[in-house]
Amino acid sequence: MESKEVLIEVKNLKKYFKVGRKQVLKAVDNVSFNIYKGETLGLVGESGCGKTTCGKTIMGLYDATDGEVIYEGENIHSFNTQEKREFTKKAQIIFQDPYSSLNPRMTVGDIIGEGIDIHHIYKGANRKKERQEKIFELLDTVGLNKEHTSRFPHEFSGGQRQRIGIARALAINPNFIVCDEPISALDVSIQAQVVNLLIELQRERGLTYLFIAHDLSMIKHISDRVGVMYLGGLVEFTTSDELYRNPLHPYTQALLSAIPVPDPEEERVKKRIPIDGEIPSPINPPPGCKFASRCSLAIDKCKEKMPEFKEISHEHFVACHLVK
């Protein structure tokens, strides 16, 4: 385990948004974890739990309110413009919605080549040709054709657009990619294609992924380690096998039991842990454990004191008073 090299260290990261007068929305509140080189780290949670904000803050797309994101020894939030540009060469993002994340007025070639142009990857007399060849190569990698270069995004289906998004992210050879729900907008049969592509690319190029999703079965499939988020904070963090074999936090247990299993026999015998109501507003959250209002096991202590995020067994972190 010690041989794992840390690529990104997230330390007490906070991202608050001001809403209205004197109200603060704590989208990400004190989150810490490491991302190892070459692994896939999954972040799961319901919508509104802050997983996307967390990903975007790690990418530097949002300025952090407090805390650090350390990439190869340097805090990315203290970068100046020049350094930030250098950082974006190494870190890229794939967005959730393949319809709104591609500029409808640019050709596919230009969308993919934009990063190459911005960073002046190719210099010298042959740069136009090299750029063109790189675009062809990328299209081939993600399973599209050369002929697609001059087409516009509206001519493609959802799955194909997501492939264009992946090609764009790969264009400048990054080593870290944030995948922000890359498959939730796609059909089941197309999801498998995109996930297979992502896994294959990781194997070939040694990429590191931060994979954000709300689909627990897909997260389990693609991730090495998984963090479960609730209302801006991590509630459980461990390897993906351990999380599914031995979930400790009541929220994780409820989430897991809510996944519909494509197996009627299993569904009939399965006991679902009910989880009532919905995620409360992150504006002025209650003191104590944030999950207490929906937790069936909550005791008085939960409503008063925030549980500590502690390591229960090797590499298994939980924030719950009831887990000893």
Binding mask 55-94 for another protein (x = CB under 8 A): ----------------------------------------
Compute the least distance from the CB of residue 183 to another protein, in Å. Answer: 11
Stretch that binds another protein, among 66-74, 173-181, 210-218, 306-314 (CB under 8 A): 210-218
Compute the least distance from the CB of residue 12 to another protein, in Å. Answer: 27
Q: What are phi and psi of 203, to 5 degrees?
A: -65, -45
Q: How would you classify residue 272: left for phi > 0, otherwise alpha for psi between -120 and 50, otherwise beta?
A: beta
- Site residues for another protein, 263-292, by CB under 8 A, read 263-268, 270, 272, 275, 278
Q: What are phi and psi of 229, to 5 degrees?
A: -105, 145
DSSP state string for 146-187: GGGGG--GGGS-HHHHHHHHHHHHHTT--SEEEEESTTTTS-
Is 95:165 a contact under the CB 8 Å cutoff?
yes
Q: What are phi and psi of 284, to 5 degrees?
A: 50, 60
Q: List b or e across 153-183, with b for residues whose CB sees 16 or more CB atoms inside 10 angstroms.
A: beebebbbbbbbbbbbbbbbebbbbbbbbbb
Compute the least distance from the CB of residue 94 to another protein, in Å. Answer: 18
Is 320:250 a contact under the CB 8 Å cutoff?
yes
- Site residues for another protein, 97-136, by CB under 8 A, read none
CB atoms within 10 A of CB 75: 14
Compute the least distance from the CB of residue 194 to another protein, in Å. Answer: 9
- Note whether 147 binds another protein by CB under 8 A: no
Binding mask 239-268 for another protein (x = CB under 8 A): -xx--x---------xxx-xxxxxxxxxxx
Q: Which is nearer to another protein, 196 or 313 (CB)?
A: 196
Q: Which residues bind another protein (CB under 8 A)?
A: 40, 46-47, 157-160, 187-193, 195-196, 199-200, 214-218, 220-224, 240-241, 244, 254-256, 258-268, 270, 272, 275, 278
